[in-house]
Structure 1
């Protein structure tokens, strides 16, 4: 039970801690018995008070004038209570509450028991009333009083006592408790009375169970206090027993305990099904013997909840059994297993709850054949008869004015029917669960939206083309941490090359997924410009900084945008791989023999910080090497060091010859948790190499334009004939003529005249023609006027090729053009 619940419960044990002076008066108001608690309260001993009118203890004239009417007013009702001011032995006044109860004895004699309690503490019956919160207590003093002689025989009893312990007055008077009601409980209480009679020390707040003897009525919780009464000589006259019925207190405490326990057990996760099951488990067996929670199917899929209390067109929405608990193994009372759709007849009580949004309370459930329930819902009525369901509550589950489902509470084993207080408890339980369900649903919707956005933004059919075979795995983070901003990409480049990209946006949720989509688009745009890796990361860094400034200008967000990225370009013609990274974990390279290395690569700063240039590294990769790019979620967790994770990943990847898909699975299966704390992305690429027969290259001296162009056309025609591509000879010769001519004209000022122009043909999925020179000036496509004699070269190249472009090289630039090959070539 949590602390808030504990402080909210005034326990029954404190009921009699404030019980004050106990005095016994005869019919004339003369004190005939005096307790030690009374001695401590007013300072008078029994010898000083017994035999004197009780009115002598009253200090004010007004109280003395009222004193003779105490017995008269009490005689009409058997009880009286009010405020008075008593005179202490040393002369000062004491403000007290007086409670007078009529006692009946043998021979129709009547006496009175008076309890005086200091006003600084409430009397026991008011404390009990505040705990039990029962409306009838203020008008009906709930205190039972029994006076016993020095032999513990009952001599006096008030009218309230018989209702508490179930012993009639005629059976009680003249007998001890064990004689009137034999049993272990009576023996225990009588032993305590013996101790009080011998020592004079009161015993308060003794818990016991009624009625006496047990089994003669409904069980109740009683709190008893025992005080010794002394005569004029101070000798033990007998024992006064004061009893308060704390059954309502106990029930209230039990209900609050259920709520306190439920507050710890419900809503531990953001999973809708889990929360519904927690609600069912919290109710059984503390409140019900069988509980079923049915939630709208739309909520389970992360969709919006139902319209306010039912579908707008009057149709019953589809529900699914989300929580199920029973005191019987396997919950045989349920017609539907957990996770199955639930049918709801249009005229059943469940439908009325759905449409009205109010609870259905049926403490005495009648499901016999021919009854209304049997006619409206025959299947549930049959189940009720089979499993002796005798009390039913159906509570709507709704939050923020929207219906989410229903919760059913049934009693089968417990013979007591549900009470109104049980309905209030069930509604409070469901209300607390509804808040958790609403939070879970809203999170589920956000997570679903982020996952949907991310899946649409990530590649679905990435291919490495002639450069590599690729495989990947993407695992979203668990429901607690939320979807992150991991992404990967395989981008085809000119000349049979590919770009491999893996990145990770800082943060989680739909915002991170949207940012990831923007960065992925930016990488595609920059990659299409054939930038070197280090230059691409520099431009991407500028893009992230601009995005961060845009976010900072918005008043509704102050999130900092940042990301890490690793960008690699692999050329199957040269088998070289150039890569650079921005704060990202290094790539892993697995050679054909299975040896795993993490190449030394400058880490760089994460994207969005700026100020520091990025560096790239170029490596030679043998054919059938595997390049592994990943995010930190694969190698790092809250409780796992990154070095341990990298060693674990290396061990999982060191399997030469294993298919990439199986290698991906092997790497992911080594994770310590099945649901990761962070997104996990793994991209594997097994490199290929172009066959030497697929590449033809030449070098030319830029001395005689016509001679060079003619020679290039001849070499191209001869090579295409060897490849069986005669139908492309004419178009390729025209492309080569224009590109070589441009290289001679626009690159002649910087070329060294010794092999300054290069020509290369690559036959793979397409036919690529590349012409390189030593100039770093990019050509521009333009539309010349009709009077101009030049400027139409690139326009012609555009018409003859499927696509063309240019990129910088370490020695200058390279212009390329691609033509589609026939199927099968």
Structure 2
């Protein structure tokens, strides 16, 4: 084992080298300090001058060379002679080194073997040995926790007393950060104290620190900690030494305050983690993840399957639940037991019934009686007893006066039972989770109603003709976004014409879906009676004002396959895109006008002649708008994808959606692709109402 650097700094070491003839070949600064000779005087001279003359036999210098060459390493205590004649007791360590001849030595000595010698005064070595022996005895027998941390504030040495306090073997400490062992609830203050001692060199005495350790995860401790800097090499950061005394019994008040802070920290963390979405299953998983492993070793969340929403709990009837979240840090068979159950039926008299009868959390020891009454099946009861769970707290999920479900917190038999304070914490966690779960449940119900209404109002099979091939897609927004008012339709008109319409009612939820339905039905009814697009938008605008729809966009296109001409009008909607057979993409209707519901502004139409095989793209803003992205970037991306749309429309529609919405739609999205064809035979101008103003198509 190598000696620590700070120890060597306390013991001056002389380094010099001898050749096989006993002459000095290397002379270090320490040698000059120890023996009093300068390098110019010592080099190439016999080393016998460094030792008192022996009464008989070979001298000390010869013995050093002989032993080093014969044994490879030798150490001894020998008398040495200072230049002033003083005899010193010194310790020597010698070993041979090949090819280390000094540059000033004879050329024929280059590459020869040199014996290197390390020498120190005997009293200095004795002092260090005494100190080391004292330290070893202190670390082995002291009942106070002792620790040494290196420059990076990691464990390098500690005594058994501290390892016993931590409940972790000495070897498992080494190389680790104290924050991994001494888990505090002080926001990192203890770690900052360690750094301050190392950086500033100022000791701390008797600081009280509340903590837990991984070896004793359920035991709150208070320790009196004293810290002091250890000397380091020049320019380096010092390590830290420490003395730690367990004063838990004396500092019970601090212990209780630490436990309270820990409970508050758990509540704060749970408040931040639970309810981040309006999804029931996600909210339940967030509760399970928030409580492990600090509060418990396993948890489940179950929703009661009531026959009807206002049903009251009856303790004399079995209770059926659906498990929507579970998790555990316990080893098998616990994970399999939790994951295997989807629906659970609790018989009357179970712990669940006892808890729901009072409406308060209940702590129960997991024994034969509890397993038999709660599991309701012999095999499940045996698995529960074999799972390692010793204690459970069952808490009701009650929101707005109605029981939504239950949550169970479980601890291993090796951990202490839940306390009264833990019961209160479980109740608070369950109350917060119940409100979040109920909000998610109510939101999901409204979301499902909105989605059902919207899908019922959207066309399942839009009108098609032999000349217009259509592919249409509607993607509802994610569960984090309410259903919007996107709609579309393809309408076969008299004389073979075809109308394509897409719209978007601003807002979300049931009101937006209902408004969308009004506009959709009105547009389909008016399409067969309004020959021009601007007239239809004017009628829709009036209908929007009559029904209180404040803001809606709409794009309406009429295509006549006999002439290949199209007329379109736009009420605040993203423009129509046209892919020509050569792959170029044209934008039509990019002067959108005012949205529906505003009133007072006439609508205008645009006319265009479209080639056979052209593809129209009608869409809503969910396809081209994304958070943090300009809509022009989204339109450019759609143009790029549309330019590649040479294959079957159904396939191209899926490809475009996958390219522009790779992670799914966050807002409602509509995409309608229509490939246009021509009617073979005599062509004539489509009917145009006198006095209608039209802008020439591009």
Query: Normalised by the shorter chain, which TM-score bucket?
Result: 0.5 to 0.7
Which of 334, 337, 345 in structure 2 is aligned with 1:335?
A: 337
Q: Say if 1:328 and 1:627 are closer, same or farther in 2 by CA, change over 3 A.
A: same
Q: Distance in 1 between matches of 2:652 and 2:225?
A: 77
Once the two structures are TM-superposed, the CA of residue 599 in structure 1 deviates from its matched residue by 2.4
Matched, 1:361 2:362: yes
Q: Tell me if 1:541 matches 2:545.
A: no
1:612–1:514 CA distance, 2 compared to 1 (3 A)? same
Residues 274, 331 of structure 1: alpha-carbon distance in 2 compared, 3 angstrom cutoff: farther
- 1:252 and 2:245 equivalent? no
User: Could you tell me how far apart the structure 2 residues matched to 1:508 and 1:206 are?
Assistant: 56
Count of aligned pairs between the two proteins: 480
Q: Please state whether the residue corresponding to 2:296 is helix, strand or coil.
A: coil
Q: Distance in 2 between matches of 1:597 and 1:329?
A: 63
Question: What pairs with 1:474-485 in structure 2 (closer than 5 Å)?
Answer: 474-485=474-485
Q: CA separation in 2, counterparts of 1:621 and 1:436?
A: 54
Deviation at 1:533, TM superposition (A): 0.1
Counterparts of 1:442 and 1:362, CA distance in 2? 30
Kindly tell me: are residues 599 and 277 of structure 1, through their superposed partners in 2, closer, same or farther at Cα, counting changes over 3 Å?
same
CA offsets 1:514-566 (integer angstroms, 9 cap, x no match): 11111112212221213310111112112222223xxxxxxxxxxx7201100
Over residues 66-114 of structure 1, what are the superposed CA-to-partner deviations in whole Å (9 max), with x where a residue is unaligned?
A: xxxxxxxxxxxxxxxxxxxxxxxxxxxxxxxxxxxxxxxxxxxxxxxxx
The equivalent residue for 1:723 is: none
Is the 1:534–1:616 contact (alpha carbons within 8 Å) kept by the matching residues of 2?
Answer: yes
Residues 635-661 of structure 1: CA deviation (Å, up to 9, x unaligned): 112211111111111121223531111
- In structure 2, relative to structure 1, the CA distance for the partners of 1:350 and 1:645 (3 Å cut) is farther
Name the structure 2 match of 1:389: 389
Q: 1:572 to 1:387 in 2, by over 3 A?
A: same
Match of 2:303 among 278, 290, 295: 295
Is the 1:467–1:571 Cα contact (8 Å) retained in structure 2?
Answer: no
Contact 1:467 1:497 (C-alpha < 8 Å) held by counterparts: no
Note the alpha carbon deviations across 1:616-646, whole angstroms, 9 max, x for none: 1121222221111001111112211111111
Report the alpha carbon displacement of residue 677 of structure 1 after superposing the two structures with TM: 3.2
**8 A contact 1:223–1:243 mirrored in 2:** no
Task: Note the alpha carbon deviations across 1:394-432, whole angstroms, 9 max, x for none.
Answer: 212120122221111111264212222222111111111
Q: CA deviation at 1:445?
A: 1.2
8 Å contact from structure 1 (residues 366, 373) kept in 2: no
**Contact 2:346–2:374 (8 Å) recurs in 1:** no
Within 2, Cα distance between the matches of 1:307 and 1:297?
11
Residue 604 of structure 1 corresponds to which residue in structure 2? Answer: 593
1:152-201 Cα offsets, whole Å, 9 max, x none, are: xxxxxxxxxxxxxxxxxxxxxxxxxx999555499999xxxxxxxxxxx9
Is 1:563 the counterpart of 2:552? The answer is yes
Q: Is the contact made by 1:580 and 1:602 (CA closer than 8 Å) also made in structure 2? A: no
The one-character-per-residue Cα deviations of 1:454-502 (angstroms, maximum 9, x if unpaired) are 0011001113123311111111122233111110011111112111000
Q: Deviations over 1:267-287 (max 9, x none)?
A: 111111110000001111111
Q: Is the 8 A contact 2:270 2:290 kept in 1?
A: yes
Distance (Å, rounded) in 1 between the aligned partners of 2:375 and 2:453: 49
1-side partners of 2:278 and 2:625: how far apart? 24
What is the CA distance between 1:219 and its match in structure 2?
4.9
TM-score normalised per structure 2: 0.62
Q: Is the 8 A contact 1:486 1:631 kept in 2?
A: yes
Q: Which consecutive unaligned segments of at least 5 residues does structure 2 have?
A: 1-139, 148-158, 166-202, 227-246, 693-698
Distance 1:362 1:689, change over 3 A: same
1:275 to 271, 274, 283: 283
Structure 1 CA distance, aligned partners of 2:305 and 2:580? 50
**Deviation (angstroms), 1:314:** 4.9
Tell me how far apart the structure 2 counterparts of residues 331 and 510 of structure 1 sit (CA, whole Å): 46
Instruction: Assess if the C-alpha contact under 8 Å between 2:576 and 2:589 holds in 1.
Output: no
CA 305–583 in structure 1, closer or farther in 2 if over 3 Å, else same: farther
8 Å contact from structure 1 (residues 353, 396) kept in 2? no
Cα distance in 2 between the residues matched to 1:284 and 1:515: 46
Q: Distance in 2 between matches of 1:265 and 1:421?
A: 22
1:206 aligns with 2:208: yes
Tell me: CA distance 1:395–1:372, structure 2 relative to 1, closer, same or farther (3 Å).
Answer: same
Question: 1:282-301 deviations in whole A, cap 9, x for unaligned?
Answer: 11111110111112468xxx
In structure 2, relative to structure 1, the CA distance for the partners of 1:350 and 1:691 (3 Å cut) is farther
CA distance in 1, matches of 2:640, 2:211: 68
Residue 646 (structure 1) aligns with: 635
Q: Which residue is 1:58 aligned to?
A: none
| Counterpart-to-counterpart distance in 2, 1:277 and 1:603 | 46
Counterpart check, 1:452 vs 2:452 = yes
Equivalent position SS for 1:542: helix
Change (3 A) 1:514 1:600: closer
Secondary structure (helix, strand or coil) at the match of 1:683 reads strand
- 2:404 is equivalent to residue 404 of structure 1: yes
Tell me, yes or no, if the aligned pair for 2:390 and 2:410 is still in contact at 8 Å.
yes
Partners of 1:691 and 1:330 lie apart in 2 by 74
RMSD, aligned CA: 3.8
Task: Say if 2:686 is the partner of 1:686.
Answer: no
SS state at 1:434 partner: helix
Partner of 2:310: 307
> Residues 86-485 of structure 1: matches in 2 within 5 Å?
183-184=145-146, 206-207=208-209, 219=219, 221-222=221-222, 243-245=250-252, 246-296=254-304, 306-310=309-313, 314=317, 316-317=319-320, 319-328=321-330, 332-337=334-339, 341-347=342-348, 349=350, 351-352=352-353, 356=357, 358-359=359-360, 361-367=362-368, 372-373=372-373, 376-412=376-412, 414-485=414-485
With over 3 angstroms needed to count, the CA separation of the structure-2 counterparts of 1:384 and 1:305, relative to structure 1, is same
Over residues 201-225 of structure 1, what are the superposed CA-to-partner deviations in whole Å (9 max), with x where a residue is unaligned? 9967523789xxx99xx95534769
CA distance in 1, matches of 2:210, 2:589: 78
Q: Is the 8 A contact 1:501 1:566 kept in 2?
A: yes
Q: 1:291 to 1:336 in 2, by over 3 A?
A: closer
Q: Secondary structure, in 3 states, of the residue corresponding to 2:506?
A: strand
Aligned to 2:609: 620
Deviations 1:424-454 (A, max 9, x none): 1111111111111111111111111111110
How do 1:649-660 and structure 2 match up within 5 A?
A: 649-660=638-649
- 3-state secondary structure, aligned to 1:451: helix
Larger Rg: 1
Q: Structure 1 stretches of 5 or more lacking a match? A: 1-177, 190-200, 227-240, 299-303, 549-559, 698-757, 759-771, 773-806, 813-825
CA–CA separation in structure 1 for the residues paired with 2:532 and 2:315: 58
Q: How does 1:813-824 map to 2 (within 5 A)?
A: none
Instruction: Check 1:462–1:315 CA distance in 2 against 1; reply closer, same or farther (3 A cut).
Output: farther
**Alpha carbons 1:261, 1:282 under 8 Å: kept:** yes
**Equivalent residues of 1:353, 1:359 under 8 A apart:** no
Alpha-carbon distance in 2 for matches of 1:657, 1:179: 85
SS in 2 for 1:489: strand
Contact 1:580 1:601 in 2 (8 A): no
Secondary structure class of the residue paired with 2:514: helix
Change (3 A) 1:419 1:666: same
> CA offset at residue 350 of structure 1?
5.4
Question: What is the alpha-carbon distance in structure 1 between the residues aligned to residue 313 and residue 553 of structure 2?
Answer: 47
Equivalent residue, structure 2, for 1:520 = 520
Does the 8 Å contact 1:353/1:395 carry over to 2?
no
SS at the partner of 1:343? Answer: strand
* Contact 1:309–1:357 (Cα < 8 Å) also in 2: no
Give, in whole Å, the separation in 2 of the partners of 1:669 and 1:656: 13
* Matched residue SS, 1:273: helix
Distance in 2 between residues matched to 1:362 and 1:600, nearest whole Å: 68
Give distance in 1, aligned partners of 2:514 and 2:466.
32
Query: Cα–Cα, structure 1 residues 811 and 209, in superposed 2: closer, same or farther, change >3 Å?
Result: closer
**How far 1:311 sits from its partner (Å)?**
7.7
